[in-house]
Amino acid sequence: MTELILPGDPIRTTRIEPVRVRPTAASLARQRALREQFLSDPGNVALTGVREVIERSWRRSAACLVDPESLATEVRESRLDAPFLHIATPIMQRLDDMARDTGACVLLSDASGVHALRMGDSAALRWADSHAAVIGMGAAEEFAGTNSDGTALEEGGTVQVWGPEHYAEDLQGTYCTSAPILDGLRNRVVAVLTLMVPERIALASAPGALALPVEWAAGEIGRQVADRLTFREQALLRAYTRESRLRGGAAVVAIDGRTTIASNRAKEMLSNSDFAVLSAIARQVDAFGEVREEVVVLADSRALTVHVKPVTIDGQVIGAVMRLHEITAPPTIGGSTALPAPVSPAPLDDLIGASAVMRRLKSAAMAAVAQSVAVCLTGERGTGRTHLARLMAAAVTPDMAVIDCGPVDSGNAGAFAATIDVALDVGQTVVARNFDQLSPEVLEHTRDALRAAADRGRLIVTGYEMDAGFFTDAIGTVPIELRLPPLRSRRDDIPLLVAYFLRSADPGARKVCSGRLLAALANAEWPGNVAQLREVITTAAIRNTTGTVCVSDVNEAHQASLARGRLSRLEAAELEQIRHALAEAGGNRAKAADLLEIGRSTLYRKMENYSRRGYELS
């Protein structure tokens, strides 16, 4: 499931504690003094007189270690696509016309705060250049500190940041109003629109008068973007609306391969792991192509009947609309219950992590086990795919057979299939590692054995990345797909993982991690994910003799990896694309460049850059 949509009234932007009176020279001087006091001692300054929205932002900026004296100057690529910019441009031009002759600059940024488009006369654009308001610059709070663009993204509403309320010194002379552009269907911010004016205009204008035109323009862009739904989304929404009107306040869900629409009642009833199970049912709807009913056990052991109806476009099934009804008394067949027994979450206790993303993964994993279906685990190297597969297999049967598909060649295909058959005969669950590396020749010989394991719900496969239909095409059955998050997406879990690895390295020593080392670990990029963190902590614990593991206990090679700065969002996505292309091309860089649709010299330069910074490309 890629998106969760909760239909209802269109979400509207609200002003987050707006500027209520025009600033004066005296009030601006007081703000400057409070800012200086906060920067010198963030933990012990009473910010009386500072708006709460600004105080929250200042504290977030300090927590992100933003340097107030030097803005990050790295240029990034905006994620706003050409159709969005085509809609936004004429509306921005109207806003720019309204602000003409004031020296104002109009800016459009994407949902990560990267400036994508700006307008103003030549003098206004030169002034914007001097205040870092240039195309490609990042305005997210984690890079630029308190500013109206980034703070509006954090707060989810219209934000005004006046002069000395900015965190960074370079932005002190700007007076900015930003309104988020909202996708009303998906209830999310897709961009932010900003009007940046010089001090003389701010001092002479009512703050609300500056906010109104920005909010109008942002709302108009959002409305026109909402009108640009794809045929697929429109069909799914129509099916959902029809079913909802027929069933009143019933729990209704509509799902295709990319989007999930859910009623408020369904959202109250289901967890994210339950939606993953429904998504798996929706993926099977093309196979049966008719209305049917399923019984589903939720993550909390409640049971539902699910009435499933295909959604079609020109006769082609593109998804399903489902009506859900909770079963209060389990149906019986011949005197026994027809529901599978609930599964305890205890088998996943050794999957370390308490972050939201890991809680969702654990719930989805246990729901998958309860459904007795094949499971496909994907994720980057070192994220723990095999570890989770072993834990899930242990929850299915007392014993398991772990098989590595990578080294199997066509000459051993018969033995490989026999291994799977024997495992099933003795009641084992089959864990097939590196399933995406299985050659077509071997797959042809083992298809029946793998399908038998999948049909019994005793097949768990792992792989770096698989196309949505790879497993289904290979075996002829649809698995529940779970993707393990990279460590950079679950940094909240690093303290728990560190404590766990320290206990594992020397159970009797009760060693702890120093605050300085923990901060360095939390800020590192971790291209090798949890496996790399385990290696760093284990070797440091072995070298440590004091009981408190410090940075000095980390060997030089690992210290170099900790000193490496984080990748930007764009760089992380680019590196992942390069890795995937190289893997698909079998290491052939020329072919990988063709897959990425870039020049070979460009790819070689990017590979050299990431290699020099210590990132593995294989």
Give 331's pLDDT tier (boundaries 50, 70, 90): very low
pLDDT for the residue 385 = 94
Find the DSSP H helices in 64-138. 82-98, 122-130
In angstroms, the CA 251 to CA 256 distance is 17
Residue 4 is assigned to a structural domain of this protein: no
State which of 226, 258, 284 marks the end of a domain.
226
Distance CA 517, CA 31 (A): 36
The predicted pLDDT at position 1 comes to 33
What is the band of 196 on the pLDDT scale with cuts at 50, 70, 90?
Answer: very high
Only one residue has tokens 């942002």, namely 218
More confident residue, 300 or 530: 530
Q: In the structure encoding, which two tokens stand for residue 33, read together?
A: 């003094």
Return d(Cα 534, Cα 497) in angstroms, integer.
Answer: 8
- Judged against a pLDDT cut of 90, whether residue 599 lies above it is answered with no
pLDDT value, residue 333: 37
Q: What is the pLDDT of residues 390-426, one digit of tens each?
A: 999 998 888 999 988 877 776 777 888 888 899 999 9
Same domain membership, residue 131 and residue 42? yes
Q: Report whether pLDDT(334) > 60.
A: no
- Read off the DSSP letter of residue 429: E
Number of residues that this document lists for the chain: 618
Domain boundary among 172, 202, 226: 226
Stretch 94-104: mean pLDDT: 85
pLDDT at 9 over 70: no
Indicate the Cα dihedral angle 61, 63, 68, 72, nearest 10°.
-80
pLDDT of residue 228 exceeding 80: no
Report DSSP state, residue 359: H
Q: What integer pLDDT is reported at residue 374 of this predicted model?
A: 87
DSSP code of 412? G
Q: What is the CATH number of the domain that holds 578?
A: 1.10.10
**Out of 184-198, 210-224, 330-344, 476-490, least confident range:** 330-344
List the CATH number of the domain containing 517. Answer: 1.10.8.60
209 is a domain residue:
yes
CA torsion 85-90-95-96 (nearest 10°) is: 90
Q: Is the pLDDT of residue 338 over 70?
A: no
Enumerate residues 6+ apart whose C-beta is below 8 A from 295: 303, 304, 305, 306, 327, 331, 338, 339
Do 377 and 521 fall into the same domain?
no
Crossing angle of helices 413-425 and 440-455, rounded to 10°: 10
Burial 373-401, CB ≥16 within 10 A → b, else e:
bbbbbbbbebbbbbbbbbbbbbbbbeebb
The answer to the question of residue 359 being in a domain is yes
pLDDT band, very low/low/confident/very high, at 332 (cuts 50, 70, 90): very low
Cβ atoms of 494 and 518 closer than 8 Å: yes
Q: Are residues 182 and 250 in the same domain?
A: no
Same domain for 551 and 468, yes or no, is: no
For tokens 């005793």, what's the residue?
A: 458
Domain boundary among the residues 226, 250, 265 is at 226
CATH of the domain at 299: 3.30.450.20
List, in sequence order, every residue forming a beta bridge with 294; answer none if it has no partner: 306
Q: What is the pLDDT of residues 537-594, one digit of tens each?
A: 999 999 998 888 988 888 877 776 665 555 666 677 788 888 888 888 888 888 888 8
pLDDT of residue 346: 58
Which of 416 and 335 is assigned the larger pLDDT? 416
Shared domain check, 320 and 259: yes
Which residue has 């082609």 as its token pair? 316
Tell me the per-residue pLDDT of 143-153, one tens digit each, with 9 for 90 and over: 889 999 999 98
Over residues 65-71, mean pLDDT = 85
Given a cut of 80, whether residue 365 has pLDDT beyond it is yes
DSSP state of 568: P
Q: Do the domain assignments include residue 580?
A: yes
Question: Is the per-residue pLDDT at 512 higher than 70?
Answer: yes
User: Are both 578 and 557 inside the same structural domain?
Assistant: no
**Which residues, other chains included, contact 102 with Cβ-Cβ below 8 Å and sequence gap of 6+?**
197, 198, 201
Residue 558 and residue 465 in one domain: no
Q: Quick one: average pLDDT of 101-110?
A: 89
* Burial of 335: CB neighbours in 10 Å, binned 0-12, 13-18, 19+: exposed
* Claim to verify: residue 262 and residue 372 sit in the same structural domain: no
Q: Which amino acid is at 407?
A: P
Q: Is the dihedral of CA 518, 520, 523, 528 positive or negative?
A: negative
Quote the percentage of the chain above a pLDDT of 70.
85
Q: Quick one: 353 and 466 in the same domain? A: yes
CA distance 359 to 366: 11
More confident residue, 184 or 515: 515
115 and 177 co-located in one domain: yes
Domain around 595? 569-612
pLDDT at 182: 85
Neighbours of 200 (CB within 10 A): 11
Instruction: Provide the pLDDT for residue 616.
Output: 67
Q: Is the pTM of this model over 0.75?
A: no
Mean pLDDT of 458-475: 76
Pick the most confident of 203-212, 454-463, 608-617: 454-463
> Is 618 domain-assigned?
no
CA distances to 352, 360, 362 from 355, in Å: 10, 9, 11
212 shares a domain with 101? yes
Rounded distance between C-alpha atoms, residue 515 and residue 535, angstroms:
19
Strand order in the sheet with 400-404: 400-404, 429-433, 459-463, 375-378, 480-483
Q: pLDDT-derived band of residue 294, with 50, 70 and 90 as boundaries? A: confident
Answer yes or no: is 1 within a domain.
Answer: no
Is the same domain home to 464 and 556?
no
In a domain, 91, yes or no: yes
Domain count of the fold of the chain: 5
Half-sphere exposure (Cβ direction) of 517: Cα atoms closer than 13 Å: 22
**227 CB contacts (<8 Å, ≥6 apart)?**
none
Average pLDDT over residues 56-82: 83
The enclosing domain of 446 has a CATH number of: 3.40.50.300
- In 3D space, the residue among 147, 102, 148 whose CA is nearest the CA of residue 123 turns out to be 102
Considering the domain boundaries, does residue 2 fall inside one? no
Q: Contact 393/461 with Cβ under 8 angstroms?
A: no
HEC profile for 7-76?
CCCCCCCCECCCCCCCCCHHHHHHHHHHHHHHHHCHHHCCCCCCCHHHHHHHHHHHHCCCCCCCCCCCCC
Higher pLDDT, 70 or 12: 70
Q: Place 607 in a pLDDT band, splitting at 50, 70 and 90.
A: confident
The pLDDT score that the predictor gives to residue 521 is 84
Whole-number mean pLDDT of the chain? 81
Q: What's the pLDDT at 469?
A: 62
Comparison of pLDDT for 166 and 613, the residue scoring more: 166
